[in-house]
Amino acid sequence: MDPRVARSKTALKQALLRLLEGKEFESVTITEIVQTSGYNRGTFYKHYDNKEALLEDILNDLIEGLLEAFRYPYEQTEVFRVHQLPPGSVKIFDHFMEHAPTYGILTRSQVMPALREKMFRALRDISSRELVPELDGIDAELLADYSIHGLLGILFHWIESGFARSPAYMQEQLVKIIRFRPDELQTRPPT
């Protein structure tokens, strides 16, 4: 990509994210985006048809990094032994920490449901294509949905906590959760 194109697209993306810190996406105008970015409408329309396309580009950038981080533990192996997963190989939390400001802004805005859905679909798609579990009567689609929703639940909890724990702590906890297979649980009477 031409460095000038990359620079202007980056500036437009950063401008939209800055504006989303103070207002909802629906209220943001293209005029505000170009004024904040320091570029003009011609530059905006050279790259994007509308502000939705700009937002989509931001989300696609995040998803691309998310998928790269998700693949990291298994991309160099033919057999991925999930229960032998070393916590340090889980790079998804590093990706989120690297993009913490962007994820924080997007999850506090009305964009969050679209972001979560896009992440879910992308992760489910690659996990169903690239990770083939041995199933013993378990519906593969239900297993993928369960696993991905669980992962997203942990990730969004971490974002909403303001990234209160370190990526290393979150990696360790995710691996412990993956390995956790209780035969029984203690019960307590309802209060």
Average pLDDT over residues 62-89: 88
Mean pLDDT of 162-185: 90
**Is residue 98 a contact partner of residue 154, using CB atoms and an 8 Å limit?**
no
Q: Is 119 in contact with 78 (CB distance < 8 Å)?
A: no
* pLDDT confidence of residue 179: 86
pLDDT, tens digit (0-9, with 9 covering 90-100), for 13-60: 999 999 999 999 999 999 999 999 999 999 999 999 999 999 999 999
